[in-house]
């Protein structure tokens, strides 16, 4: 379990150099020193470890303001795991909020409940009763349409299990359909096992770590018995959670740690997986100009950031136009854009301008929240998962 005491050595490595300012979307937007990583983590040290500063509403606001985007960890000279320190502090704070925790946990661990809400949400939108902040919901969730084993026409060259994230399941089932079709088209068998739950990242962001442990173990139980070459995810945030964070939440040197390590070792982001095994099916030309928004949570595996452009470059005639700041945050950050509307919109405005400057028709990104949040501010440019562009080239769009 992530505990603040475990990060004392890491906190000591902060030299106040300020490199974390350069990449923090929040600081770049607000130019407010308390919002920098160095100020936040040193405030956390004073409040929770040294107990030399009170946990005031102002302190809570500063801890809550972090987007957990991990951008600062890439420029931090001391390699301080800033996001994990913020999560550990939130875990201290959120211990008391039992009712809210219970409601959210029940929703995220019981997908049948969310499925019912999505089905009701779809009807509310159809009849104009839903609030505008909600994305357009599908008539059926991905798991209502897809479950079980999907085999290619020929002999499979590999077999993968598909971890279906909540974004694909409840908002963008078209991504899931493209993933299955593209993998099958490339002679890869896909298993979608029942019983999966949310990866846990929304609760980790709130500091409810015990619930995250329960969710990780539920998913491990579902996947560990499957004989597959890889467990793929189409979402970079689910990937970060399952590949990098899950094992850190387990007790050290325990059986659970061993089981989760095995599970995490098989996690691949789908475009990275395709780039690694190679595409075998010939791609048809697409007269498409596309650009790529790199999701913040790409650093958990070195191939994830460049895999989409590597595989999409193989589509004949499709033209790639790099945007300015491709790795710049879009401002969505999970549910951050709901609770920090103004800041998120300011961060998004910069991104939207760089997207418009490309003149691209299509923006690809592996994060469903980025997809929703960017698309809601773009006209005449669509935002899709990179695998969906491959599916179009194969003419196998789900
Ligand atoms: S995680 Fe993101 S928002 Fe938080 S301090 Fe780092 S760069 Fe800034
Ligand atoms: S970049 Fe890292 S070491 Fe430097 S001030 Fe920021 S948190 Fe501290």
Residue 191 in 3-state DSSP? Answer: strand
Is 146 within 8 Å of 192 (Cβ atoms)? yes
Distance between CA atoms of residues 196 and 268, nearest Å: 17
pLDDT, position 105: 59
Q: Does residue 329 have a pLDDT over 60?
A: yes
Mutate to test the pocket of ligand 1, among 38, 68, 343 (most ligand atoms within 8 A of CB): 68
For ligand 2, atom 8: residue with the closest CA: 14
Q: What is the mean pLDDT of residues 381-396?
A: 95
If one counts every other C-beta atom within 10 angstroms of the C-beta of residue 397, the result is 16
| CB proximity list for 168: less than 8 A, separation 6 or greater | 142, 175, 176, 179, 234, 235, 368
Q: Does residue 100 have a pLDDT over 60?
A: no
21 lines ligand 1 (CB under 6 A): no
70 lines ligand 1 (CB under 6 A): yes
- Quote the percentage of the chain above a pLDDT of 90: 84
Residue 18 in 3-state DSSP? Answer: coil
Look at strands 289-292 and 319-320 and give their pairing. parallel
Distance between CA atoms of residues 46 and 56, nearest Å: 12
pLDDT in tens, 119-141: 666 666 666 656 555 667 788 89
Mean pLDDT, the chain, rounded, equals 91
pLDDT, position 137: 79
Distance between CA atoms of residues 313 and 327, nearest Å: 19
pLDDT band at residue 17, thresholds of 50, 70 and 90? very high
Predicted ipTM of the assembly: 0.97
Domains, the chain, ranges and CATH?
4-94 (no CATH), 106-274 (3.40.50), 282-394 (3.40.50.1860)
Q: Does residue 293 have a pLDDT over 50?
A: yes
pLDDT, position 104: 58
For ligand 2, atom 5: residue with the closest CA: 16
The token pair at 72 is 């600062």
Distance between CA atoms of residues 41 and 91, nearest Å: 14
CB burial class (10 A; 0-12, 13-18, 19+) of residue 125? middle
Binding pocket residue ranges, ligand 2, CB within 6 Å: 14-20, 37-38, 76-78, 80, 82
* φ and ψ of 232, to 5 deg: -105, 150
Q: What is the mean pLDDT of residues 214-229?
A: 97
pLDDT, position 33: 94
Placement of tokens 């490339």 in the chain: 186
Nearest atom (ligand 1) to Cα of 67: 3
Say which ligand is closest to the CA of 331: 1
pLDDT in tens, 133-192: 566 778 889 999 999 999 999 899 999 999 999 999 999 999 999 999 999 999 999 999
pLDDT, position 138: 84
pLDDT, position 2: 79
For 293-326, letters b (16+ CB in 10 Å) and e give: bbbbbbbbbeebbebbbebbeebeebebeebeeb
Q: Does residue 257 have a pLDDT over 80?
A: yes
Q: Does residue 99 have a pLDDT over 50?
A: no
- In order, the DSSP letters of 71-93 are HHHHH-TT---HHHHHHHHHHHH
If one counts every other C-beta atom within 10 angstroms of the C-beta of residue 280, the result is 11
Q: Does residue 334 have a pLDDT over 70?
A: yes
Q: How far from 247 is each of 8, 88, 220, 259, 366, CA to CA, in Å?
A: 20, 15, 11, 9, 23
Placement of tokens 């399952």 in the chain: 242
Q: What is the mean pLDDT of residues 352-367?
A: 97
Distance (angstroms) between ligand 2 centre and the Cα of 378 equals 35
């Amino acid at each position: 379990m992530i505990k603040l005491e475990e990060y004392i050595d890491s906190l000591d490595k902060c030299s106040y150099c300020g490199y974390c300012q350069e990449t923090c979307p929040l600081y770049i937007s607000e130019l407010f020193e308390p919002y920098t990583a160095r100020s936040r983590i040193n405030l956390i040290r004073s409040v929770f470890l040294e107990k030399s500063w009170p946990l005031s509403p102002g302190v809570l606001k500063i801890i809550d303001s972090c987007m957990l985007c991990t951008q600062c960890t890439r420029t931090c000279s001391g390699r301080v795991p800033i996001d994990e320190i913020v999560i550990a502090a939130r875990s201290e704070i959120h211990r008391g909020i039992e009712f809210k925790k219970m409601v959210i946990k029940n929703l995220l661990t019981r997908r049948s409940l969310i499925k019912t809400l999505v089905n009701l949400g779809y009807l509310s939108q159809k009849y104009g009763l839903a609030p505008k902040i909600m994305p357009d919901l599908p008539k059926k969730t991905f798991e209502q349409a897809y479950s079980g084993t999907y085999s290619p026409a020929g002999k499979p060259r590999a077999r993968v299990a598909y971890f279906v994230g909540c974004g694909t399941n409840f908002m963008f089932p078209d991504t899931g359909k493209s993933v299955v079709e593209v993998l099958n088209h490339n002679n890869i068998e896909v298993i979608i096992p029942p019983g999966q739950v949310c990866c846990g990242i929304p609760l980790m962001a709130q500091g409810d770590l015990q619930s995250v442990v329960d969710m990780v173990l539920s998913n491990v139980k579902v996947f560990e018995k499957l004989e597959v070459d890889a467990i793929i995810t189409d979402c970079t945030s689910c990937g970060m959670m399952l590949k990098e964070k899950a094992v850190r939440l387990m007790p050290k040197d325990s059986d659970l740690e061993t089981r989760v390590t095995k599970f995490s070792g098989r996690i691949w982001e789908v475009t990275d997986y395709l780039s690694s095994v190679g595409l075998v099916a010939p791609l048809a030309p697409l007269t498409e100009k596309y650009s790529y928004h790199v999701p913040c949570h790409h650093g958990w595996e070195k191939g994830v950031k460049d895999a989409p452009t590597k595989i999409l470059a193989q589509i004949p005639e499709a033209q790639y136009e790099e945007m300015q700041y491709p790795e710049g945050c879009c401002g969505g950050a999970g549910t951050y854009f709901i609770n920090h509307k103004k800041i998120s919109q300011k961060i998004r405005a910069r991104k939207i301008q760089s997207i418009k400057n490309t003149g691209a028709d299509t923006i690809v990104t592996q994060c469903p929240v980025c997809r929703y949040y960017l698309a809601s501010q773009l006209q005449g440019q669509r935002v899709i998962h990179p695998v969906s562009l491959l599916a179009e080239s194969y003419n196998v769009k789900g």
